[in-house]
Amino acid sequence: MLCSMSSENENKTQRIANRRTYLKGLGTAGTVLLAGCSGSSNGDGGGSDDTNTDTDTEASDGGTMGGDDGTLTIGALQPFTGGFDWIASNTKPAYNLAFSEIEEAGILGGMSLEANEQDSATDPQQALSGLQTLDSAGVPAIIGPSSSVMPNLIQPIQNNEVPVNTVMAGTIQLDDTGGEWLWRSVPSDAVGGAAAGKYAYEDLGHEKMALAYKNDKGSQSFSASVGEAFKSLGGSIVGEVPLPINASDYRSQIQELQQMDVDFVQMTAATEVSGLFMKNYDELGAKEEFNLALGNDVLTPGFIETAGAEVMEGMIGQAPAAGPANDQFVASFEEMHGEPPGTFSAAAYDAANLFALAFQSAGEVSRSVIPEHLPKVATPPGTEVTTFAEGKEALANGDEINYTGASNPQNFDENGNVVGPFNVVQAQDGEWNPVTTYEASTLQEVY
């Protein structure tokens, strides 16, 4: 909807007033974690719809795959290069921490653990090649990649019965497809979108929203989730503006948003697009006309520093609240690595522990045991455990167990999804700080 010239000044005055209200009084410090990765890096071709998702890989026999030398090799299909290489830099030390703890506790008679690492590079075809390599190598389970490539891997994963737990993919395309071979230790974009939409409508009082998003599958997924939640509560979406992946600037797209009768915009994109968008947003003075919420890929201290703390001040986003075992995980991580964990670290730690506990519960290392034993060790009822060692001890005592995670409770539903509480976060003085928390039950009423 375009603004009329007669109401332009009045609308602008109201937008500025709303902006000032939006910036006031929103701060309590706390830990910030992120939801599933919604964007993708340059070169992903927007998800490459032409990728043959029906390609069957050379499947192994699905038997015991621990290795003749007593080594348990877990696959890691991660973005080790490309625009999301920072994610693999965070996940690798986390699953290595889990491997160390699992070895120390002694899995199935004392196996050693290692990772067979394949680079997804946020490129669907390269990710498919990596999946084929891991399948042919006979790995019993894979710690999986981001939203930018996951949609292209769903069918090959299911066709070849390769257990995958993605630790960063929030795409809504996975909402109804998992629960046997495909799992995720991060919530769906539908949950994060519910938090973002609810906060915009109920807490900030916006009735109209525009959506801007990087023109790829992952960003569209999260943007659509925010829009659906906002509309379900009574708000309206007045327009959508795709952001080209390789644009030299986003001035025309921002000017299009400025012409809309809207004072709130959900902008979802990864760092390379968001950085340029924020630069142009500041140059055009758009921050005086509409409030901006960001996708979860850029909710990092580094992005605030890159974009500028003054420009970022007051921006909001959403992120899963820390899981019940997060403090324990952080302490162990810092002891091993000498620095705090990063985004998606806790989810990678949880994924490694869950696979190991499933094998321990089954008494063997085999792909075929995952559909039964992964949910069995992760969901109530059962003795709550937060490490492999605790879980192994409880299983030895004949108890059922419920692994309670560092990233969230890890209670899988029938489709392999997890749901947990979410924080709404705001950029304040160069840091992302939680300003409100929604319990999982509250968000389930929205999406």
| Domain architecture of the chain: domains with CATH | 14-19+190-321+422-444 (3.40.50.2300), 64-187+324-403 (3.40.50.2300)
Name the one residue in this structure whose structure tokens are 């060692």: 389
Cβ atoms of 160 and 56 within 8 Å: the answer is yes
- Distance (Å, rounded) from C-alpha 78 to C-alpha 145? 5
Q: What was the pLDDT predicted at 245?
A: 87
Please, which residues have CB within 8 angstroms of residue 223's CB and are 6 or more apart in sequence?
A: 211, 212, 213, 240, 266, 268, 295
Mean pLDDT is highest, among 62-66, 222-226, 319-323, 370-374, for 370-374
pLDDT band at 234 (very low <50, low <70, confident <90, very high): very high
Q: What was the pLDDT predicted at 66?
A: 53
Of 53-62, 79-88, 163-172, 180-189, the one with minimum mean pLDDT is: 53-62
- Which residue from 256, 214, 216, 218 is spatially nearest to 239, judged by alpha carbons? 256
How many CA atoms lie within 13 Å of 1's alpha carbon, on the beta-carbon side? 12
Mean residue pLDDT of the chain comes to: 86
Of 45-59, 136-150, 239-253, 400-414, the one with minimum mean pLDDT is: 45-59
Helix (H) or strand (E) holding 308: none
Q: Tell me 176's DSSP state.
A: T
For the stretch 397-436, pLDDT in tens is 999 999 999 999 999 999 999 988 889 999 999 999 999 9
Residue 352 in this model has a pLDDT that exceeds 60: yes
Residue 41 in this model has a pLDDT that exceeds 80: no
The reported pTM is 0.81
CA–CA–CA angle 148, 51, 37 (5° rounding): 5
The fraction of the chain above a pLDDT of 70, given in percent, is 85
